[in-house]
């Protein structure tokens, strides 16, 4: 009789180990896995441009001197690396014609430049939608700028 009760106790202990301790071990081993997953920098960059860390405005004026990409809340982490405009269904590259302007209004060179400057827009792109290529956090974000509108990531 005693051997039978020890056998039943052994079976109950085995069930507890299999049913509780083994799943608990797998749960504890898996607890740190979310922190080891890589960060999705594309989402981070999109949210930073859309949610207001970087606010970019395309001032389209009749006076070519005032056709500017205005960066209201710039950041050193975001770099303007390319500017394109849409004309008759084509995307045309105007990166080489865009100049960075400092706060005093002086041209400080072409792009790529951090988004702490304002940027000129050539006359050819006047009043047409622009596409900005912005590099941030080792990824590239494309931002669509409509005339006299703020930025929208795409």
CATH number, residue 64? 2.60.40
Is residue 52 located within the same domain as residue 87?
A: yes
- 123-152: per-residue pLDDT in tens? 888 888 899 999 988 889 898 888 888 877
Is residue 23 located within the same domain as residue 48?
A: no
Task: Identify the domain containing residue 32 by its residue range.
Answer: 2-36
Is residue 93 located within the same domain as residue 23?
A: no
> How much is the mean pLDDT over the chain?
83
Is residue 148 located within the same domain as residue 83?
A: yes
- 84-95: per-residue pLDDT in tens? 998 888 899 999
- What residue has token string 């083994």? 22
> In the Cβ-directed half-sphere of 85, how many Cα atoms lie within 13 Å?
21
Q: Count Cβ atoms within 10 A of the Cβ of residue 58 and give its class: 0-12 exposed, 13-18 middle, 19 or more buried.
A: buried
pTM above 0.85, yes or no: no
Is residue 45 located within the same domain as residue 100?
A: yes
Is residue 82 located within the same domain as residue 139?
A: yes
Is residue 65 located within the same domain as residue 97?
A: yes
Counted domains in the chain: 2
């Amino acid at each position: 009789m005693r051997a039978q009760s020890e056998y039943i106790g052994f079976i109950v202990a085995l069930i507890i180990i299999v049913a509780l301790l083994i799943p608990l071990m797998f749960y504890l081993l898996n607890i740190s896995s979310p922190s080891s997953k890589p960060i999705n920098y594309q989402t981070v960059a999109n949210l930073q441009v859309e949610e207001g860390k970087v606010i970019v405005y395309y001032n389209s004026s009749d006076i070519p001197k005032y056709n500017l990409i205005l960066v209201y809340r710039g950041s050193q982490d975001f770099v303007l690396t390319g500017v394109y405009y849409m004309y008759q269904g084509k995307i045309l590259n105007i990166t080489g014609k865009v100049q960075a302007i400092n706060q005093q209004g002086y041209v400080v060179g072409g792009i790529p430049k951090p988004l702490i400057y304002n940027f000129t827009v050539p006359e050819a792109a006047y009043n047409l939608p622009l596409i900005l290529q912005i590099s941030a956090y080792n990824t590239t974000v494309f931002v669509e700028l409509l005339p006299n509108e703020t930025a929208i990531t795409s």
